[in-house]
Amino acid sequence: MSREEFWRYQLGPGAELLCRRRARPVVLHSKLADVARRCRERGIELVFVVPPAHADVRALLASEGLTDDYAAARAELAQLGRVLDWDVPGPLTDDAANFDDPFHFKPEVARQLVRELAAVIPER
């Protein structure tokens, strides 16, 4: 399968079916809320990292009516801790050359994100 075929496959019927079966992760959120509470009690900053996906993934979420759900999930994370969100429209997520497929960025992007992450996390 070529890269282009695999890209289309990743966004095709399997992804659409996964989107339709998606349920709000109530148990996971409860566990994360408990972790957040414990972090606050211990003076630990809890940081969530939202990795980038290609713009085609946002288009898939929109076509499946999940854009609001995705935004709500990120807002819920922000209630629990700091959110560093790289899954935003822009040069990184618009350029297919930055990705092996719509969901997985290339190693060069990972190195860039690690540098940016290190820059925003204070040293102790």
- At residue 24, the pLDDT reads 75
- At residue 48, the pLDDT reads 94
- At residue 82, the pLDDT reads 94
Grouped pLDDT means (10 residues each) for the chain, 124 residues: 88 74 80 96 94 95 88 93 95 97 96 92 75
Could you tell me if 85 and 121 are in contact, meaning their C-beta atoms sit under 8 angstroms apart? no
- At residue 115, the pLDDT reads 94
The predicted-structure confidence for 27-39, as pLDDT tens digits, reads as follows 888 999 999 999 9
Single pTM value for the model: 0.84
